[in-house]
Amino acid sequence: MCIIKRKKKITTNSNHSFPRFPNLVKNLILNHINQVWFADITYISLLMEFVYLAIVLDGYSRKIVGYAISKALDTELVLSALQMAIERRRPLPGCIHHSDQGIQYASLEYVKELNNNDFKISMASKGNPYERMLMLKALSRP
């Protein structure tokens, strides 16, 4: 049997000139829903191609509150996931939105949508792709 090597898709392009935001969730203890939303992008390999999956996850409940799937890795993908989450959850002003520093999350359109819905914007440190997962693990409830 031969082993098929699959090339890993890169989902974060942080080489951009958009503003970056400080990490607001580093030492935060979660105690209610809609306190922190984590956003991320991954890809799904299909038989002949792949698609990108953007998700918005509530940090306290660990539920995916918004998602979108697309063949394109662009701002529209992450905006669709965010808009679904906002429509489903209607968070109060001050909910923290945490993501990586990727161009999709730092784009003018995405930041405008966050500001229009009174989110606090938080981003992981540059160059640490595992930071969010480590934070989720540390923030887990007993």
Per-residue pLDDT 10s for the chain (142 aa) are 555 555 555 555 555 667 778 999 888 889 999 999 999 999 898 888 889 999 999 999 999 999 999 999 999 999 999 999 999 999 999 999 999 888 899 999 999 999 999 999 999 876 655 565 555 555 555 5
For residues 75 and 112, is the Cβ–Cβ distance under 8 A? no
Domain-embedded: residue 66: yes
Q: pTM value?
A: 0.81
Domain-embedded: residue 73: yes
CATH number of the domain residue 114 falls in: 3.30.420.10
Return the number of other C-beta atoms located less than 10 Å from residue 33's C-beta.
16
Domain-embedded: residue 102: yes
Residue 136: predicted pLDDT: 56
Domain-embedded: residue 16: no
Task: Tell me the C-alpha distance between 57 and 30, whole Å.
Answer: 13
Task: Tell me the C-alpha distance between 96 and 23, whole Å.
Answer: 10
Residue 27: predicted pLDDT: 82
Domain-embedded: residue 7: no
Domain-embedded: residue 54: yes
Task: Tell me the C-alpha distance between 117 and 97, whole Å.
Answer: 11
Domain-embedded: residue 108: yes
Q: Which residues of 95-132 are buried (b: 16+ CB within 10 A; e: fewer)?
A: bbbbbbbbbbbbbeebbebbeebebbbbbbeeeeeebb
Angle at 29 between CA 123 and CA 64, to 5 degrees: 60
Total number of domains constituting the chain? 1
* Residue 47, Cβ density class (10 Å: 0-12 exposed, 13-18 middle, ≥19 buried): exposed
Task: Tell me the C-alpha distance between 96 and 78, whole Å.
Answer: 16
Domain-embedded: residue 21: no
Q: Domain range spanning residue 78?
A: 36-138
Residue 17: predicted pLDDT: 63
